[in-house]
Amino acid sequence: MALLDIRNVSRTYGEEDTVTPALRDVFFTVEEGEFLAIMGPSGSGKSTLLHILGFLDRPTSGSYLFTGKSIGDLDDEALARLRNEQVGFVFQMFHLLPRVAVLNNVVLPLVYAGVPAIERERRARESLTVVGMTHRLNHVPSQLSGGERQRVAIARAIVNAPRLILADEPTGNLDAASGQMVLETLERLHAQGHTIILVTHETTLANHAERIVRLHDGRIVSDERRERRNVHAHFSK
């Protein structure tokens, strides 16, 4: 059974005479453990698709099965719970809470999950170890470099052990070196078995994925599987 199964999904904005379609009749599935890049020019609907996949938005028509269950009938509260338990978001703008220490930023999803304080701090430290950010636990985001902030954001995205990591242009605000480091972190997570969906318009970035879905004008125009790269060789340098 596929982790995600999108069937005939459309998403339109506006009403009646001003309807603008963002997605048109999209079909695709993602298996557990895939590293997939969604590509396309701006306005192609890739962000809309990501929001639907991450339960931040609902399709106007069509169905979305997550682990085989339709989310169409779920209310806002149930969607919030799905985001909390099943999804980790990584944003272009990092979206860390300003003036809040690194450790407290990372525990945030666990706070909403109702995890007790001691347990969630332990898990946050674990996540920060994965992204290599244990040396700045009590710094606030403004004291960190862009790359460090994005690694903290990734730690937050994985702290709730989600089935799905959604990254929206995660290197878009970073210099080449920092971007590379963030990408390596995502690849490592993939190697550990995480399912990652990356939205980008940069081909170099997409080339790290094993599958590239291209969108144009709200439709999927290509869906190609690429040869899997040797991730470990990449990290051993």
Partner 1 sequence: MRIPDQLRTATEGLKTNLGRSFLTILGIVIGVAAIVLVLSLGGAARELILREVQGIGGETLVVRPGRQPEGPSEVAQTLFSDSLKERDIIALRRKENVPGARSVDPAIFVPGSVTYQDQVYRPTIFGWNAETLAEAFDITPAEGTFFTEEDTRARAQVTVIGDRVRDELFGSATALGETIRIRGHAFRVVGVLDARGQVGFLNTDELVLVPYTTAQEKLLAISYVHEIFIRADDPSRVEEVAEDVRRTLREMHGITDPAKDDFFVATQQDILERIGTVTLALTVFLAAIAAISLVVGGIGIMNIMLVSVTERTREIGLRKAVGATNAEIRAQFLLEALLLTVTGGALGTVIALLFAALAAVVIRQQFSLPWSFQFSTTGILLGLGTAALVGLTFGLYPATRAARKDPIEALRYE
- Residues making contact with partner 1 (CB under 8 A): 51, 54, 56-57, 76-77, 80-81, 83-85, 89, 91, 93, 95, 97-100, 108-109, 111-114, 116-117, 156, 160
Give the span between the Cα atoms of 24 and 216, in whole angstroms: 10
Nearest alpha-carbon partner for 8 in 63, 67, 68, 69: 63
Give the span between the Cα atoms of 212 and 203, in whole angstroms: 10
Closest CB 83 distance from partner 1, rounded Å: 5
Closest CB 216 distance from partner 1, rounded Å: 21
* Amino acid in position 131: V
Closest CB 236 distance from partner 1, rounded Å: 34
Report the residue number, 187 or 195, with the smaller CB distance to partner 1. 195
Report the residue number, 13 or 235, with the smaller CB distance to partner 1. 13
Report the residue number, 117 or 161, with the smaller CB distance to partner 1. 117
Report the residue number, 25 or 85, with the smaller CB distance to partner 1. 85
Report the residue number, 110 or 174, with the smaller CB distance to partner 1. 110
User: By the 8 A CB rule, do 28 and 45 touch?
Assistant: no
Closest CB 127 distance from partner 1, rounded Å: 13
- How many C-beta atoms lie closer than 10 Å to residue 212's C-beta? 19
User: By the 8 A CB rule, do 211 and 225 touch?
Assistant: yes
Report the residue number, 97 or 161, with the smaller CB distance to partner 1. 97
Give the span between the Cα atoms of 101 and 103, in whole angstroms: 6
Give the span between the Cα atoms of 119 and 110, in whole angstroms: 9
Q: Which regions of 97-203 does DSSP assign to beta strands (E)?
A: 164-168, 195-200
Closest CB 105 distance from partner 1, rounded Å: 9
Closest CB 76 distance from partner 1, rounded Å: 6
Residues whose CB is less than 8 angstroms from the CB of residue 153 and which lie 6 or more positions away in sequence, other chains included: 90, 91, 94, 95, 96
What letter would DSSP give residue 212? E
